[in-house]
Structure 1
Amino acid sequence: MNWLLVIAGAVVGAPLRYLTDRAVQAGHDSVFPWGTFVVNVTGSLVLGLLTGAVSAGAAGPHLQLLIGTGLCGALTTYSTFSYETLRLTEAGAGLYAAANVVASLVAGLAAAFAGVALAGALTT
């Protein structure tokens, strides 16, 4: 029955990803894929927070399946990040493509570390 938890999380994560991407991108007049960037960094923060909570014993495996695998799995998107970076490169926007790669990697890792640290601070 664990798969039901994954599906339930994905049912929320997929439309949340789409709606967030559209809302964020509509607010920016730029070729930079801000919507994908925001959902990926947000997902990294949530997953870091959840991982820290699970490590501290404040959350269990069912929540990890629901939020981590289901919601974050559907919310974040490596394939769209890759495609948008490729599209930027093909359009001659190499600087934006490089910025997307570097900013996504740095911000995503920072968000994950921040989530783990926040969970640690909240559970002690």
Structure 2
Amino acid sequence: MMNYLAVGLGGMAGSVIRYMISLGTMNIGTAAFPYGTFIANILGCFFLGLLTGLNEKKEIIPKPIMLGLGTGLIGSLTTFSTFSVETVRLYEHSSIYMAGLYVLLSAGVGLLLAGSGFYLGQKRSEKVVSNG
């Protein structure tokens, strides 16, 4: 029951944060590029990588908290379905160039940040495990 509550609370927080990011990025650059979704997704990539890296060798973060942060908050913050629809819209209303740029930036930066977060998490985890 605790795991469900953690995921639900995290999901509620993640969806509100995602909405705030969308509102905060409405007037950035060109309206053709979906900055809100891009920022939410790459932040999620970094933080999920970091959390996963922290718990890679030893459970530093308890399971209910991991579920609340990873599945709940980050899962709710990020969105593949919105990314996909926005890519189709960019292709239809803007250009294949803008749609391609969005896909490449999202995948490239997302993977880079997920890997960086994972690496940082592992390094931090090693310090905690060796000191604790």
TM-score by length of 2: 0.89
1:33 matched residue in structure 2: 34
- SS of residue in 1 equivalent to 2:26: helix
1:66 matched residue in structure 2: 68
Query: How far off its partner does 1:38 sit?
Result: 0.4
Q: Decide which structure has the larger Cα Rg and report it.
A: 2
Identify the match of residue 93 of structure 2 among 51, 74, 91: 91
In 1, Cα distance between equivalents of 2:29 and 2:23? 10
1:110 matched residue in structure 2: 112
In 2, Cα distance between equivalents of 1:29 and 1:77? 21
Give CA-to-partner distance per residue, 1:64-88, whole Å, 9 cap, x none: 2000000011100101100100001
- SS of residue in 2 equivalent to 1:5: helix
Larger mean Cα displacement after TM superposition, 37-46 or 57-66:
57-66
Letter in structure 1 aligned against 2:27: A
Q: Which runs of 5+ in 1 are unaligned?
A: none
Alpha-carbon contact 2:52-2:118 (below 8 Å) kept: yes
In 2, Cα distance between equivalents of 1:72 and 1:122? 20
Letter in structure 1 aligned against 2:88: L
Larger mean Cα displacement after TM superposition, 56-65 or 78-87:
56-65
Larger mean Cα displacement after TM superposition, 27-36 or 45-54:
27-36
Q: Which runs of 5+ in 2 are unaligned?
A: 127-132
Give CA-to-partner distance per residue, 1:36-64, whole Å, 9 cap, x none: 10000000101000101111322221122
Letter in structure 2 aligned against 1:32: F
- SS of residue in 2 equivalent to 1:26: coil
Query: How far off its partner does 1:97 sit?
Result: 0.2
Give CA-to-partner distance per residue, 1:66-120, whole Å, 9 cap, x none: 0000001110010110010000111141111000111100111111101111112
1:14 matched residue in structure 2: 15
TM-score by length of 1: 0.94
Letter in structure 2 aligned against 1:42: L
In 1, Cα distance between equivalents of 2:35 and 2:45? 15
